[in-house]
A and B are shown apart, each in its own frame.
Chain A
């Protein structure tokens, strides 16, 4: 729908569609076996080659210079097929956006334009948290011209794929935290095996323990929260686009199945209760698509409430998605519960995506406090 209003994005939509059809759709179950099966390294390399890993990165930094709308279009289409691939695109974009939000383009110039491989281009990030709400963050200490970071982080997404990570840490005396760029091959860096999680199996995350890891400060000390908040609303919208895509995927599979599966002597779509389930899913998927579109347009046109519009759209879409994918399994009955079909994966992935950028209730509290000017 967004490409109806912004026709310049149509080529990205087509590219994402063809990529999904060629590289993802037929191997979703196989890719989802990770970490107990092979990782789809070839797919990640191809995502890098076509530019998905730098969707919102300026061209001079090695990206394709797209807007958040570009990212949403790509993510929505990719996640219709396999949201693990979407999770990789999302996390890298999030790390890039925070680096750019700090105003320190020099650092980005040293990383992205010089990258030769996907691994060089990827930056790991703890995508499932808002560091401001984290019970505990690593500590950062000034050491010479740089810093060292000590402490632990859970679910550092892409930690097993990337060579660098953007990590939040607290410096003594500061009220807020700071972001640091660390080398994942640093001698003081200890990484776990990929953590097995509910969904997005092929978007791996690791737990890390850092002991005096050399770190480069991003932007200014104590400003991590400022940078995070700068990108939070639009990246929440990008996460919502992922779930909007999942809903479309779930609806598509449910529709197709209900036209083929017989029960009581007729295709199940011809039983009105199944139609009601499908109608509910359609309404939710359409509303989600409209919310993403409108929020993207609001972001681009500016306006006082654009940040809250993005967060509201995001929270609403995630809730719709979790309901829709549950019904998506239900339409397929026992088959929907089996890995031979895509619905059970969507059921898991939608909840995993809902947790991106922090727990939903905390976002709701922040939304109101922000609007009321309490923070």
Chain B
């Protein structure tokens, strides 16, 4: 009916086919084994919920109110024992190499019981993403090696990521904004490394992490052009923890204040800076900085969307249980039409939120951070080759300068802008969609359950408290809407300007 060229032209019209239908073209390219592996991940999550999360969620939340300085050491040790801190680390870096999208399903499952416990596991991968997206394969191998070693020895090694500052939250997530923001974390280049001064706030799991990916700036007057990524080991001279924030929810997962006072970080712990980046690209450093941020958040925001869906599902399941067991005027609540419609609405919300993060995962799998890992040949190569091969043959290659240049070029020189925009936009979309329905469903559950829902020991009110945070972290939902506009809409409106009103 239409010529091939006309079909191609039509599909390029806004919204572009390739940006609006992600699962349709990409699902057939998905390695079939991913389904089997994802089923296993969901089963593991459910077992963990039954044995660890559900029996502890409410009790730990209460404990954190009794003792605001409580730290989840026991939980971290348990998660470490279950192997969660290396589960989604690629085998070539020594991890178990489970497929990255499966983590979203895991997040929904565990998040449906306790977002705080999920974050004790999940936010480590924000740090992992921060390490891996740097294309610094040598340092990545070393840091992630510590994580893997931590599982073997039973001494957990977690990675935190520190960007937010007391006077700058939204600003640090966009190079367009950061130059106008009030950033203060300064990394001064000195012989053999950097000296850091400044403070970071709201750093999830900071106190209990062994390594922190620190995002600082070598020139505070030009932060967008001078960002520096540093790996800071807990215990380093000049690095200390300030207050442990007193949050409304997700209390089992501490939010830390990190203080740097003349803290020296040696060159071999520099994840990226302009000097390193110049080895693999000549693109403006500011552009590379934004791309690095986008790689990380495109993946992690889809994950936060799954957290929100988890909260929505937890609320739905609590409401379903309550309605199935509670009689009013001699009739079970669940046998009222309005209750059935309410539960159906909540179920719909969960399903739509899930579809959003699945689509975002397709974007990341085929056009984003873990694109390479999802290519069928490479996927099966990683799956089937024994770990010893990666440890003995691949690991030395990762140390080589040529490997780092190759990774750098793959991620920053050859990657397409359109792919970057698609992944970043969909990450934001999934984040906003999932987290908003998290609040919606928690609200509906509370309304249905009346006074039962108010009790901390019933667990539902905790879901509502926990869920609010996911509308805020990884960029407020307002920032994410703007990012969606910037990435998915503005490119077709040449006169549109974002962050410039």
Contact = CB atoms under 8 A, between A and B. Distances in A.
Interface of A: 36, 126, 128-129, 133, 135, 154-155, 195-199, 262-266, 271-274, 277, 322, 326, 329-330, 333-334, 336-340, 344, 347-348, 351-352, 354-355, 358-362, 365
Contact of A334 (B169, B327, B448, B464): B169
Nearest to A356: B451
Contacts of A365: 338
Contacts of A274: 478
A41 to B, nearest CB: 21
A271 B100 CA distance: 36
Nearest to A196: B456
Given A155-B454, A263-B170, A337 B472 contact: yes
A334 B204 CA distance: 12
Contacts of B202: 334
A231 to B, nearest CB: 18
B414 interface: no
Contacts of B468: 326, 329, 337, 344, 347
Interface stretch (B244-252, B271-279, B352-360, B386-394): B244-252
A265 B501 CA distance: 12
B439 to A, nearest CB: 6
Contacts of A199: 454
Contacts of A334: 164, 169, 201-202, 472-473
B294 interface: no
Nearest to A273: B478
B451 A129 contact: yes
Contacts of A358: 450
Given A133-B329, A198-B464, 9 more contacts: A198-B446, A262-B181, A264-B170, A277-B478, A326-B468, A333-B476, A344-B247, A344-B248, A347-B248
A198 B461 contact: yes
A9 B376 CA distance: 75
B99 interface: no
A266 B181 CA distance: 8
B489 interface: no
A74 B450 CA distance: 26
Contacts of B473: 334
A340 B243 CA distance: 12
B331 to A, nearest CB: 11
Contacts of B472: 329-330, 333-334, 336-337
Given A264-B171, A326-B468, A355 B454 contact: yes
B55 interface: no
Contacts of A272: 501
A55 B216 CA distance: 57
B469 to A, nearest CB: 6
Contacts of B329: 133
A263 B177 contact: yes
Most buried by B among A273, A334, A336, A352: A334
Interface in B378-437: none
Contact of A135 (B182, B245, B327): B327
B450 A263 contact: no
B490 interface: no
Contact of A265 (B181, B248, B455): B181
9 closest A-B pairs (Cβ-Cβ)? A265-B180, A359-B450, A128-B451, A198-B461, A344-B248, A196-B456, A339-B246, A264-B177, A197-B454
A339 B450 contact: no
Contacts of B350: none
Contacts of A154: 451-452, 455
Contacts of B482: 273
A348 B476 CA distance: 20
Contacts of B177: 263-264
B167 interface: yes
A128 B454 contact: yes
Given A135-B327, A326-B468, A361 B448 contact: yes
A126 B477 CA distance: 38
B451 A155 contact: yes
A355 B171 contact: no
8 contacts: A195-B457, A198-B464, A274-B478, A326-B439, A337-B469, A337-B472, A359-B449, A362-B450
Given A198-B464, A198-B465, A339-B247, A355 B446 contact: yes
Contacts of B455: 154-155, 195-197
Nearest to A332: B472
A230 B248 CA distance: 38
B69 to A, nearest CB: 13
Contacts of B328: 133, 135, 362
Given A197-B454, A198-B454, A336-B472, A263 B171 contact: yes
A46 B101 CA distance: 58
A322 B443 contact: yes
Nearest to A323: B443
Nearest to A343: B248
A330 B478 contact: yes
Most buried by B among A271, A337, A354, A355: A337
Contact of B181 (A264, A273, A338, A359): A264
A277 B478 CA distance: 10
A360 B451 CA distance: 11
B328 to A, nearest CB: 5
Contacts of A126: 451
A339 B327 CA distance: 37
A360 B447 contact: yes
A260 to B, nearest CB: 11
Interface in B450-501: 450-457, 461, 464-465, 468-469, 471-473, 476-478, 481-482, 499, 501
A10 to B, nearest CB: 35
B170 A197 contact: no
B325 to A, nearest CB: 9
Given A133-B328, A197-B456, A198-B461, A337 B181 contact: no
Interface in B290-317: none
A202 to B, nearest CB: 14
A36 B247 contact: no
Contacts of A333: 169-170, 472, 476
A197 B461 CA distance: 8
A358 to B, nearest CB: 6
Contacts of A263: 168-171, 177, 181
Most buried by B among A129, A198, A326: A198
B37 interface: no
B170 A196 contact: no
A272 B481 CA distance: 13
Most buried by B among A129, A330, A339, A351: A351
Contact of A330 (B201, B249, B339, B477): B477
